[in-house]
Each structure stands twice: as C-alpha cells, then as structure tokens.
Chain A
Amino acid sequence: MRTALWIALTFTVACGPSMQKPSGFARVDGDYDVRVTNAEGVVIAVNSHRNRGPNGDLAFWAGALEARMERTYGEVERLEIESDDGHEGIALRARTVEGGRPYIYWAAVYLMGRRDRQVVTVEAGGDEAYFLPVADEVEAAMRSVER
C-alpha cells in the first residue's frame, strides 16, 4: 500500500505541464515537455523548470526572459495574460528576420504548482507568413497551459 502511494506521488510530481494542442498540429516533443508543430513549421512548446536557486517571482522570470529576447531580437512587446486555469502570466512578443524572412517569436511565463515552485514557459514561433494565419490558435494554446 505504501509502495503504491509513493509510486502515485512520484508520478504526480514528475508529471509536466500540458497544453491543448490546436487542430492541425502534431507532437514533436524533443527536449520540451510538450512541443507541437503544424505542417508549415509553426511550433508551440511548453517546458517547466523548478523555481529553485533564484526562487524568483513572476516579475523576475518575465524580466529575465524579456531581457534575453531583447538581446536576441530587439524590441519586445510585453502583455499581462492569464491562463485558462487562472494563473497570472506575462506574454512577450518579438519579431525578427532570419535568412531574409520575417519570423514571429512569442513566449509566455507562468508560475504554477504549490508555492509557485514551477516556472512554466510556453514558446511559439514560425515564419510570419505561416504564423499569423494561426496566431489565434497559438494564443489559445499558450493560455491553455496547465500543470
């Protein structure tokens, strides 16, 4: 009985965040907890990280992510968002040009779990020509993240 309880507890702790996969997307997880892509290469990915070490709040993690995006892509738009299950988050949006093509890169960060022990990041990106037609579905998927 105790063994079964420990197994169940371990499974619960190890279980990563999930996300509603938009229609037309398929999973290609790779190094991510969840990563999905459509046929045109628009990708949405979720990852969770233990909020230890820095033990930062949402402002810290959003600021850290924003600083990295600014260093890489330049101007970044910042939005306050809320996940479908009620977690506050920060969405960051950037646009860049690679190989002569404009690309969209969105990122969102939430703190989830008990005492905000999990930093959940959602990233989405792709060629602007393919990203914008599915931008609403991407945004909905990024809000659908839950732990």
Chain B
Amino acid sequence: MRTWTLLALLSGCGGAAMYGGAPAAEADYGAEEAGYGGADLQAAPPMAAPSSAHSPQAALQPVVDANGQPAEGTGPSGPLRLIYRAELAMRVDHGESTATLDGMLAATLAAGGYLSRRDAGLLVLRVPSAQFHPIVAQLETFGDVTQRRVQVQDVSEEFHDLEVRIESMTALLERMRGLLERATTLDEILRIEGEIGRITTTIDAARGRLRFLRSHVAWSTVSVSVSEGAAPVVVDEPPPVSPTTRTLPIEWLNRTGLQNLLDLEND
C-alpha cells in the first residue's frame, strides 16, 4: 500500500514539473540561450577598471574570489553566479585582420584564456571571469570598435534550483531503489524501474546543465569579429613635370616643325 501510494504521488510530478513547468529538453543548453535575461550594454564606452565598488560597472564585475573562482554567498538566494559575455565588432586596416586576430589570441592566451573557435575574421575566446574586463579592454586596443555588446546573466537562482532538485531527485531515486528491492509483483517492478529511469534521466540533464553553468560562470566568453577597411585607393603619381619652357614671341620660330615642313600643298 505504501508502495502504490508513493507511485501514485510520483505519477503526478513528471519531469516537466521538476523544472518549474519547462519541458526537460528546454532545460538543457538551448534554454540558456532563449532565456538570456541579464544586463545588456550596447555601444558602451571602452571597458575600464571601475573606480568605485559601487559604480554600475562594479556591479557588473565578475564575482570571484582571490583564486579567480566564482565567489559564493554574495547573493540573496545564496551564491551569486554571473555569466559574462562580450561581443566586439572591430575594424582594422586593409590586410590586417589576420595579424590582428593573431595578436588578440596571443594576448588572451597570455592572460590565461583559451581559444574556443576561430573562423575567418572571428575569434571566440574563453577567459577567466576574473580577467573578463581587463582582457576585453585590452582586445579593444587592437582596432576601432564599431560595436560592443556586454551581457551579464544572473544564473544564481537557476543554479540554486538545480542543486536542490538534484539533491531531492537523488534522494527520491534512493527511495525508489528501496521500493524496487521490496517489490513483489512484476507489475510493481516494471513501474518502479520506469520511474527510476525517468528520474535518472532528469538528474543527468540537471547535472549537465549545472556543469554548463559552472563552466560559463568561471569562464567568460568573448567573441570578436574583425572586418577590414576598404583597400587603399592607389593613386598613380602623375609623371614628374618637366621644366616648362615658354613660347617666344618670334613668329617664324613658331612656324618651324614637321607640320609646316611636310605640308607640300602650301607651295
């Protein structure tokens, strides 16, 4: 009786309900893109170290500890987890994009970051969150910034929810395993195993999402697209001007030349 009561309760709380009404698939990485609700600064002034801890930029500073790891215990619902992203569009001189990208990559590597992706004119860099603003500021020196987009996403609540849910689902999983050991009929065994499989899948998805969030909290993403200015117009230098002689007011002299000489019809 206790077994059936528990199963009846479980049947009413499917995977979707465990993610606050969102389908389990949407709770995966894709939902992170769709639900990006952080601060959004476009065409902001060049990045610089904040002068005050209370300045707006200070509020956007990655919250990390002395070791560069995300700090905890600073948010209202527990540890404050922030994901920083920057997208820079830059223009450089004609033919300089490759060298510029190389320089940006070298600067990032020197600051402890790494290359995530590189395409023609595009770099996707991952940098330690503690180095986010200094590196962005440094990257901006490699060309003319035509567009800047800095986003900060507070995932503290989602982070907390995931941890709680993983904990509760793990506890539930243990109880289901206990029930499975005591199950006596084939029908009971099949239903309990089905529930265990669903719970396990849910826990795996939550853990995957949690790893993703941890990674993006610890490592900020900086995307840089570089375009080149128009090729310089090559203007052919005019031929050097020869010293100019002046026509003398001597009438017969100005009649000399092939034209008159060969005009035999003026005989």
Contact = CB atoms under 8 A, between A and B. Distances in A.
Contact of A105 (B245, B253, B258, B264): B258
B261 A45 contact: yes
Interface in A58-104: 64-65, 67-72, 96, 98, 103
A68 B257 contact: yes
Contacts of B258: 96, 98, 103, 105, 125
Contacts of B266: 30-31
B253 A65 contact: yes
B50 to A, nearest CB: 71
A30 B242 CA distance: 35
Interface string B233-267: 00000000010010110101111111011111011
Instruction: Report whether over half of chain B's contact residues are helix, strand or loop; otherwise say mixed.
Output: loop
A71 B250 contact: no
A72 B245 contact: no
Given A96-B258, A103-B258, A125-B258, A68 B264 contact: no
Among B252, B256, B257, B258, which residue has the most Cβ atoms of chain A within 10 A? B258
A120 to B, nearest CB: 12
Given A64-B253, A65-B253, A70-B245, A28 B261 contact: no
Contact of A125 (B254, B261, B267): B261
A30 B262 contact: no
A121 B256 contact: yes
Nearest to B244: A71
26 contacts: A28-B267, A29-B267, A30-B264, A30-B267, A31-B260, A35-B261, A43-B262, A47-B252, A54-B248, A54-B250, A64-B250, A65-B253, A67-B248, A68-B245, A68-B247, A68-B254, A68-B257, A70-B245, A72-B257, A103-B258, A105-B257, A105-B258, A107-B256, A123-B256, A123-B257, A126-B262
